[in-house]
Amino acid sequence: MIPPKKVLIIRFSSIGDIVLTTPVIRIVREQWDAEVHFLTKSAFANIVEANPNIQKVFSFRKKLSEITPLLKKEKYDLVVDLHRNIRSFLVKLGLKRPAVTFDKLNKAKWLLTKFKINQLPDVHIVDRYLDPIRPWGITNDQQGLDFFIPKEKTFSLERMKGFFSDFSVSESNLLAIVVGAAHNTKRIPEKKLIAVAQQWPGVVALLGGPKEQEDGERILAKANRKGMVNFCGQTTLFESASIISFAQKVLTPDTGMMHIAAALGVPTVSVWGNTVPEFGMTPYPASAKHKIIEIKQLSCRPCSKIGHKECPKGHFRCMMDIPATQLLNTLLDE
Q: What is the identity of the amino acid at 73?
A: K
Q: Which residues contact 226 (CB under 8 A, 6 or more apart)?
A: 166, 167
Q: Are residues 228 and 293 in the same domain?
A: yes
Separation of alpha carbons 256 and 254, rounded Å = 7
Predicted local distance difference test score (pLDDT) of residue 165:
75
Task: For residues 131 and 165, state if they share a domain.
Answer: no
Together in a domain, 76 and 223 = no
Q: How far apart are CA 75 and CA 98, in angstroms?
A: 10
Task: For residue 127, tell me if it sits in a domain.
Answer: yes
In a domain, 169, yes or no: yes
CA–CA dist 75, 69 (Å, integer): 11
Residue 142 lies in a domain: no
Same domain, 129 and 168: no
Whether residue 83 sits in one domain with residue 33:
yes
Question: Which parts of the chain have pLDDT scores under 70?
Answer: 166-167, 170-172
Quick one: pLDDT at residue 1? 83
Number of domains in the chain: 2
Contacts 24+ apart (CB under 8 A), 99-103: 100/132, 100/133, 101/132, 102/128, 102/129, 102/131, 102/132, 103/128, 103/131
Indicate if 119 and 165 belong to the same structural domain. no
Same structural domain for residues 117 and 197?
Answer: no
- Specify if 287 maps to a domain: yes
pLDDT at res. 161: 83
Instruction: Say what the pLDDT of residue 162 is.
Output: 87
pLDDT at 179: 98
Instruction: Report the pLDDT value the prediction gives residue 164, as an integer from 0 to 100.
Output: 85
Beta bridge partners of 176: 205, 250
Q: Is residue 120 part of a domain?
A: yes
Residue 171 has a pLDDT of: 57
Maximum pairwise Cα distance, the chain: 62
Is 96 within a domain?
A: yes
State the Cα angle at 155 between 150 and 160, rounded to 5°.
165
Examine the fold and report which residue of 66, 101, 136 is the final residue of a domain before the chain moves on.
136
Residue 56: which domain range? 6-136
Q: What is the pTM assigned to this prediction? A: 0.96
For residues 119 and 204, membership in a common domain is answered with no
Question: Based on the domain organization, do 244 and 186 belong to the same domain?
Answer: yes
Residue 257 one-letter amino acid: M
Rounded CA gap, 275 and 102, in Å? 21
Q: What angle do CA 29, 123, 322 make, to 5 degrees?
A: 115
User: According to the model, what pLDDT value does residue 300 have?
Assistant: 97
- Claim to verify: residue 180 and residue 315 sit in the same structural domain: yes
Q: Where are the alpha helices (DSSP H) in the chain?
A: 15-19, 22-31, 45-49, 68-74, 86-95, 106-115, 125-130, 157-161, 190-199, 213-223, 237-245, 256-263, 317-320, 324-332
Residue 107 in domain = yes
Q: Give the CATH number, domain containing residue 183.
A: 3.40.50.2000
- Relative to beta strand 249-253, strand 268-271 is parallel
End of a domain among 136, 169, 194? 136
CA 308-313-318 angle, 5° bins: 75
